[in-house]
Structure 1
Amino acid sequence: MTRPKKRFSQLIEEIDRTPWGPAEQTLVAEAVALAQEIGDEQLEYQARMRQTASANMNGATDVMLNSFAWCLARHDADPGRFPADLEYGGADLMWQFKWMASSLRSSPAFSQEQIAAVLDDMETHYRAADLGLSGVLTARFEDAWDAGRIDDAEALRVQLEATPRDDHSHCDACGRSQFAGFFAETDRDADAIRLVEEMIEGGFSCGEEPEHALSRVLVPYLRNGRGEEAKTAHLRSYRLAKDNPDNLRIVANNIVFTAITGNEARALSLVERHIGWLAHDGLNVDAHFAALAAFAVALDRVAATGHGETPVRGADAAALVPFFGPHDGPWSAADLAAAAWATAERLGAEFDRRDGTDGHARALERMRALGTESYDVPIRSDAFVAQPATVDPTDAEGWYERAMQLAQYGDEQGTLAALPHALEVADPEKRAQLLSMRLGILVALDRAEDAWPVLPERIAALRAAGKAEQADLEERLGLATFGLATPEDAAALDRELADAAALPAWSRGDLALSRASLHLRGDDADAALNLAEQAARAFAEAEDARLSNTTTLVAISALLHKGDTEAASALLDRLIAQDDLSTGHRAHALETRARIRGGSGDFAEGAADADEVCRLIAGFGATRALGSAHLLAGALWEDAGEPEKAVARFRVLARIAAQEGADATGADFRLARAMLAAGDAEEAAELFGTVLEREEKAEVEPASRAATAMLLARSLATAGEFGQAVGAYGYAADLFGQGEEYADQASAMSEQAKILARFDENDDALALLESAADIVRRAPDAVGVMADVLHNLGQAYGGRGDERAFALFDEVAALATEHEADWLRADVTDSRGRALAQLGRIDESVAAALTAADAFATIGDIGSAGGSELFAARVLVSNERGSDAVAVYRSAIEHGAEFPQLRQVAALELGDVLEGLGRHGEAAEVRALVES
Structure 2
Amino acid sequence: MASVEDVYDLMDRAYELPYGQAKSALLEEALRHAEALGDRDLAFEVRLNLTEAYQYGAEPAKSFATFSRCLAEYDADPARFTDTDHYNLLWQFKWIVYNMTYFPEVPLPRARDALAEMERRYQAAGYGLHAVYAHHCYLAQHVGDRDAAAEWFHRWQTTPRDDLSDCEGCDPSGKVDYLAWAGRDEEAVELAAPVVAEELTCEVQPQGILTNLLLPYLRTGRHEQAAAAHRRAYRIIRGDASYLAELGEHIRFCALTGNEARGLEILERELPLLERAGSPRVAMIFAAAAGLLLRRLAETGHGSAPVRRGGAEVTVDALRAEMESTAREIAARFDTRNGSAEQSRQVEETLAAEPLVDHLPLLPHARRSSAPPPPPAPVADDPGGLLDEAERHWERGDLEAAFAAWERYDAIGGSPGDAHAGRRADGLGLAAAVRGRFDEAVRRWRDAALAHERAGDEPRRQACLGRLGLALCELGEAEEGLALVEASTAYLIEHGDADRAAGARGRLARAYARTGRTEDAVALLRSALDAAEPPRAADGDLMILLARLLAESGDDADIAEAERLAGRGRRALRGRGGPDLADACMLHAALLTLLASEAEDMIETAQEALGAYEEALAAAPRSDAGLRATAHARRGELLLTLGKAAEAADDLVEAVAAFTALGSADRAALARAGLCRAYLATGRPLEAAETAEEALAMLPRDHDVRAVVRLTHGRALRELGEPEAAVDAFAEAADALDERSAPPEQIAEAHEAAGEILARLPDRRAEAAGHFAAAAERYDGVDRARMLRLQALMLYGVEGRDQVFDILARARTVLDALPHDDPAVLRERAQTAFEQGGVLEELNRAEEAADRYAEAADAFAGVGDHHRAAMAAQYRDRLRASGD
- Normalising by the smaller structure, the TM-score range is 0.5 to 0.7
Superposed, 1:26-425 pairs within 5 Å as 99=99, 101-102=101-102, 116-117=108-109, 119=111, 142-146=138-142, 147=144, 148=146, 149-152=149-152, 179=174, 181=176, 204-205=202-203, 210-216=206-212, 235-241=231-237, 268=257, 270=259, 273-274=262-263, 316=300, 380=364, 382-383=366-367, 388=372, 391-394=375-378, 421=407, 424=410
Out of 518, 521, 527, the position equivalent to 2:520 is 527
Question: Per-residue deviation at 1:483?
Answer: 4.5
Give the letter aligned to residue 872 of structure 2.
Answer: V
**Superimposed CA distance per residue, residues 413-472 of structure 1 (whole angstroms, 9 cap, x where no aligned partner):** x79987973774775675466356346546xx4x54343322323314543664336636
Aligned to 2:831: 831
1:471 corresponds to 2:468: no
Q: Distance in 2 between matches of 1:784 and 1:409?
A: 58
Aligned to 1:594: 589
- Aligned partners of 1:239 and 1:686 also within 8 Å: no
Aligned to 1:906: none
- Aligned partners of 1:405 and 1:584 also within 8 Å: no
Other structure's SS at 2:701 match: coil
Aligned to 1:576: 570
Could you tell me which runs of 5 or more consecutive residues in structure 2 were left unpaired when the two chains were aligned: 1-16, 22-52, 69-91, 275-279, 305-331, 350-355, 597-604, 842-848, 879-884
Equivalent residue pairs, number: 689
Q: Distance in 1 between matches of 2:614 and 2:567?
A: 17
Closer/same/farther in 2, CA of residues 431 and 878 from structure 1, 3 Å limit:
farther
- Aligned partners of 1:190 and 1:220 also within 8 Å: no
* TM-score (structure 2 length as normaliser): 0.59
After alignment, is 721-730 or 587-596 more displaced?
Answer: 721-730
- Aligned partners of 1:742 and 1:776 also within 8 Å: no
Aligned to 1:871: 868
Out of 614, 617, 620, the position equivalent to 1:614 is 617
Out of 665, 669, 685, the position equivalent to 2:669 is 665
- Aligned partners of 1:176 and 1:195 also within 8 Å: no
Superposed, 1:429-578 pairs within 5 Å as 431=424, 434-435=427-428, 437-438=430-431, 440-441=433-434, 445=436, 447-460=437-450, 462-463=452-453, 466-468=456-458, 471=461, 479-480=469-470, 483-484=473-474, 488-489=479-480, 492=483, 496=487, 503-505=494-496, 509=502, 511-521=504-514, 526-535=519-528, 547-560=538-551, 561=553, 563-578=557-572
Aligned to 2:726: 725
Other structure's SS at 1:803 match: helix
- Aligned partners of 2:758 and 2:768 also within 8 Å: no
Closer/same/farther in 2, CA of residues 459 and 273 from structure 1, 3 Å limit:
same
Aligned to 2:80: none
Aligned to 2:806: 804
Other structure's SS at 2:102 match: helix
**Superimposed CA distance per residue, residues 786-815 of structure 1 (whole angstroms, 9 cap, x where no aligned partner):** 677445324546899842342341465489
Q: Distance in 2 between matches of 1:57 and 1:645?
A: 44
Aligned to 1:769: 768
Give the letter aligned to residue 625 of structure 1.
Answer: L
Q: Distance in 2 between matches of 1:155 and 1:399?
A: 80
Out of 620, 632, 638, the position equivalent to 2:634 is 632
Instruction: Name the Cα RMSD after superposition.
Output: 6.5
Give the letter aligned to residue 713 of structure 1.
Answer: G
Give the letter aligned to residue 712 of structure 1.
Answer: H
Other structure's SS at 1:618 match: coil
Closer/same/farther in 2, CA of residues 291 and 433 from structure 1, 3 Å limit:
same
Q: Distance in 1 between matches of 2:117 and 2:302?
A: 43
Give the letter aligned to residue 522 of structure 2.
Answer: L
- Aligned partners of 1:770 and 1:793 also within 8 Å: yes
Question: Per-residue deviation at 1:662?
Answer: 1.2
Give the letter aligned to residue 718 of structure 1.
Answer: E
Closer/same/farther in 2, CA of residues 555 and 670 from structure 1, 3 Å limit:
same
Q: Distance in 1 between matches of 2:426 and 2:287?
A: 61
Q: Distance in 1 between matches of 2:797 and 2:833?
A: 11
Q: Distance in 1 between matches of 2:779 and 2:512?
A: 41
Question: Per-residue deviation at 1:587?
Answer: 0.8
Out of 628, 653, 656, the position equivalent to 1:654 is 656
Q: Distance in 2 between matches of 1:221 and 1:161?
A: 27
Question: Per-residue deviation at 1:142?
Answer: 2.5
Q: Distance in 1 between matches of 2:796 and 2:875?
A: 18
Closer/same/farther in 2, CA of residues 19 and 723 from structure 1, 3 Å limit:
same
Aligned to 1:12: none
Q: Distance in 2 between matches of 1:120 and 1:399?
A: 85
Percent of paired sites with the same residue: 16
Question: Per-residue deviation at 1:157?
Answer: 9.9
Closer/same/farther in 2, CA of residues 192 and 415 from structure 1, 3 Å limit:
closer
Q: Distance in 1 between matches of 2:644 and 2:194?
A: 39
**Superimposed CA distance per residue, residues 510-534 of structure 1 (whole angstroms, 9 cap, x where no aligned partner):** 5533332244457765532331245
**Superimposed CA distance per residue, residues 307-330 of structure 1 (whole angstroms, 9 cap, x where no aligned partner):** xxxxx988635779xxxxxxxxxx
Q: Distance in 1 between matches of 2:530 and 2:827?
A: 65
Other structure's SS at 1:102 match: coil
Other structure's SS at 1:479 match: helix
- Aligned partners of 1:776 and 1:786 also within 8 Å: yes
Q: Distance in 2 between matches of 1:545 and 1:422?
A: 31
**Superimposed CA distance per residue, residues 818-865 of structure 1 (whole angstroms, 9 cap, x where no aligned partner):** xx99786456434324424545746545645765887xxxxxxxxxx4
Other structure's SS at 2:652 match: helix
Question: Per-residue deviation at 1:594?
Answer: 0.9
Q: Distance in 2 between matches of 1:180 and 1:672?
A: 36
**Superimposed CA distance per residue, residues 300-350 of structure 1 (whole angstroms, 9 cap, x where no aligned partner):** xxxxxxxxxxxx988635779xxxxxxxxxxxxxxxxxxxxxxxxxx9xx9
**Superimposed CA distance per residue, residues 209-267 of structure 1 (whole angstroms, 9 cap, x where no aligned partner):** 55223445799999xxx9999998764313234678976757868999x9xxxxxxx99
**Superimposed CA distance per residue, residues 621-659 of structure 1 (whole angstroms, 9 cap, x where no aligned partner):** 112232222212211221222111111111111111222
Give the letter aligned to residue 609 of structure 1.
Answer: A
Question: Per-residue deviation at 1:715?
Answer: 0.8
- Aligned partners of 2:449 and 2:464 also within 8 Å: yes
Aligned to 1:331: none
Aligned to 1:678: 682
Give the letter aligned to residue 592 of structure 1.
Answer: L
Question: Per-residue deviation at 1:675?
Answer: 1.0
Could you tell me which runs of 5 or more consecutive residues in structure 1 were left unpaired when the two chains were aligned: 1-16, 22-52, 59-63, 76-91, 105-109, 259-265, 296-311, 321-346, 365-370, 855-864, 882-932
Question: Per-residue deviation at 1:278?
Answer: 10
Q: Distance in 2 between matches of 1:467 and 1:668?
A: 53
Question: Per-residue deviation at 1:184?
Answer: 7.7
Aligned to 2:715: 714
Closer/same/farther in 2, CA of residues 627 and 816 from structure 1, 3 Å limit:
farther
- Aligned partners of 2:836 and 2:852 also within 8 Å: yes
Closer/same/farther in 2, CA of residues 793 and 272 from structure 1, 3 Å limit:
same
- Aligned partners of 1:211 and 1:236 also within 8 Å: yes
Question: Per-residue deviation at 1:611?
Answer: 2.7
Closer/same/farther in 2, CA of residues 468 and 316 from structure 1, 3 Å limit:
same
Closer/same/farther in 2, CA of residues 731 and 391 from structure 1, 3 Å limit:
same
Other structure's SS at 1:393 match: coil
**Superimposed CA distance per residue, residues 685-717 of structure 1 (whole angstroms, 9 cap, x where no aligned partner):** 23223434556xxx7359865653432221122
